[in-house]
Structure formats: structure tokens, C-alpha cells
Amino acid sequence: MPSPADSTSEDESGARAFPATAECLNSLPTEEISAEGLPPTIEWRAGRVRFLDQTALPGAVRFIETNDPGTIAEAIRTLQVRGAPAIGIAAAYALAAAAWTGPDDPAALRRRLAETAAQLRATRPTAVNLAWAIERTLRATQEARSGEVLRRAALAEAEAIHAEDVAANHRIGELGADLLPDRGGVLTHCNAGALATGGYGTALGVLRAARSRGKSHTVFVSESRPLLQGARLTTWELLQEGFRVKLLSDAAAASLFARRELAAVIVGADRIAANGDVANKVGTYGLALMAEAHGVPFHVAAPWSTVDLDTPSGAAIPIEQRGAAEVTCFAGIRTAPAEVSVENPAFDVTPARLVHAIVTERGLHRAPYRASLRAAARERTLHV
């Protein structure tokens, strides 16, 4: 006979009670991938966009293929495609799909692209990569004098954005590996790996590059509630590649710092303001405060497209508010009263004073960030 702790019950209405159990109610049939590595998060295939549905992970590796830009916009909104660099790439491919399925008249085609761009911009406001990729793709089509030339220009720009992101991630990994000690525990939050980018990853790319140099780390991964990007995605990525991984609840991080099990923290970013304030998955700010209190370096890894020099500080970064059901329900089970009001910000802002280093493909940036980021922008402009 099962013990009370292993049982569930129903009240008089027939509602199923939340189980008080240390075991999972059912097993998750995690799907293995091939030895060739992680599947591409997103790619262009003969006029269609193929992307990995991240809401299905880790239970299934499921792809969606479409030439409908509206479907891609909805995938961004619902987090089937997520991660700041990845949603920028997806937006660029959505514009290419709009061009390839649109009319031949260039004026009408530009109107279609403008409508698609507006739809894409409305999906997620915090990640600056989204607007950056949209504007860049639209600029690439401005001089086209025919529908065919415009279509090819849109696709070429989307593919360039994708390829540049992969190259940037590898460069970030090379530079960022120097930030990590030879061994010890490294904490990361949310998912900043191949799934969140064009490939390889930012924060996880740094860990990959460090391991290729012979450095040895145990990677501690916080769940990243309420949608568990750390638990579902980061652990899946790292386990596929043989990393030593320990998953922890978000609330357990403080005790990990207190036990001196961490040598560094490294996270990604959705937007970096001109003064070095960093918007990232909600919970990042708390981890940065803990790191400061315990003398643990806190680093940020992100592509330059995430740096927004037009945003003066974190106070000006729009923070996406998401639906209440993400907090009041868990795996389809209601865990809070239906009438409770909910605060569900998708991101928070970590002040620049808590960030030891920001690594982009343009270099390692240190405080004062307003000066170091501006210098990186000027240097790049001089070499273009």
C-alpha cells in the first residue's frame, strides 16, 4: 500500500491534489541526439525556415518547418525559439520568408516586409537583437529594384547574420575562457548555449572553450523558474557533451555560495546598456548580489549585437511581462489559487557595478563600461 507521501487525492469536486512526493509522477523519455553534436537551432532549407521547438525539450527533439512569417513570429512569442541571438536570427529568416512568398512588385513586397517587421517587433521587447536584426535585414533590401533582387538580398542578409553569430560565439568562447579558473564550480542561469544562439553558445560557449583547453569545471545550473530553461535546456545541452552538471533549485544558490563551491558565475544577456547594466533572465540580479557578497566573479558573455549604446542604463530597458499561468501552473497542474494576482517579469537588470567583465567578440570589456564599450564601438567603426 502506498504511503501518504506517495499518494494523490481528489476533493469533492474531483480536482486532483498536488502530489507531495519526492519522485516524478512519470518518466520523461529524453531523446538522445547523434554524436555529430547539437542539432541546428534554426536554418534555411530551400525556401523554408526549419527551427527546433524548444518547448518540447528535453522530452523530444522536434522540428517545425514553415515558410509563413506569422508562424515564426508566434514561435518567438511562445518561446519555441528563444535566446536573444536566436530570436534575432529567426526574425531575419522570417523577413526572408516574407520576401520569398510575397509579390514580385518591389513596392508591394516592401509593404509586406514592413508589416512582417511590425509583427515581429511586437513579440518580445527586451532582447535588442530582435530589433537589430530586423532593421539590418530591411536596410539590406532598400536598394533592390525588383522582387527577385529584394528576395535574394533579404535571404543573404539573414544568412550573414546567422553565420556572423556563430563566428562571434566561437570568438567569445576563446576570449571568455581566460576568465574562468582551471577548475572548480561554475554557476550559470537560464540558457545561453547553442539553443539560444546561431550555434555554439555564449556563456556555454565559454565553458566549451575552457574545457577544450583542459580546464575542468562542474557546471551548476539553476532551474530558471518559472519556465525552467536551465533545467530543461542547459542541462540537456551540457549532458549531451559530457560535462559534469549539477542542477539546483533557484532558491538553493545562496547555500552553494556559502559553502564556497563556486569559483565563478557566467551568464548570457538579452540587452546590455551603454553603462554596462545587463538585462538577463529574471533571477540573474539576485545571483550577482550573492556573488558580490561571497567574492565570486560574475561575468557576462554576449554578442556585440546585444550591446545597445542607445540605451543609457538598465532603467531604460523595457522588461517583458509574461502571462500569469507561467507562475500559477506547473506542468499543467495548478499550484496557486486561480484568483491570485501575479507579477511575472521575464527579465531583471543587473547593475554594472556587480559585473566583473563583459565578453563580446570585440574583446573583454571592464569597468567603467561606458568608456570600454564606447571604445570597442569606435575601434570597430574605424576598421569597417
Residues noted as catalytic: 270
Cell of 44: 534555411
Task: Find out whether 87 and 232 touch, Cβ atoms under 8 Å.
Answer: no
Q: Between the CA atoms of 300, 268, 329 and 25, what dihedral angle is there, to the nearest 10 degrees?
A: -100
d(CA 69, CA 134): 13
Contact present, 300 and 285 (Cβ < 8 Å): no
Please return the burial class of 164, using the count of CB atoms within 10 Å of its CB with bins 0-12, 13-18 and 19+.
Answer: middle
Number of C-beta neighbours around residue 4 at 10 A: 7
Give bridge partners of residue 64 from the DSSP assignment. Answer: 51
Cα(121)–Cα(116) distance, rounded to whole angstroms?
Answer: 9
Cβ pair 49, 93 in contact under 8 A: yes
The rounded distance, in Å, linking the Cα atoms of 153 and 147 is 10
Identity at 118, one-letter amino acid code? A
Chain center to CA of 31:
21
Task: Tell me how far apart the alpha carbons of residues 269 and 271 are, in angstroms, rounded to a whole number.
Answer: 6
CA-based R_g, the chain, Å: 22
Q: What are phi and psi of 318, to 5 degrees?
A: -70, 130
Nearest 5°: CA angle at 170, between 166 and 175?
145
Question: What is the rounded end-to-end Cα distance, in angstroms, of the chain?
Answer: 73
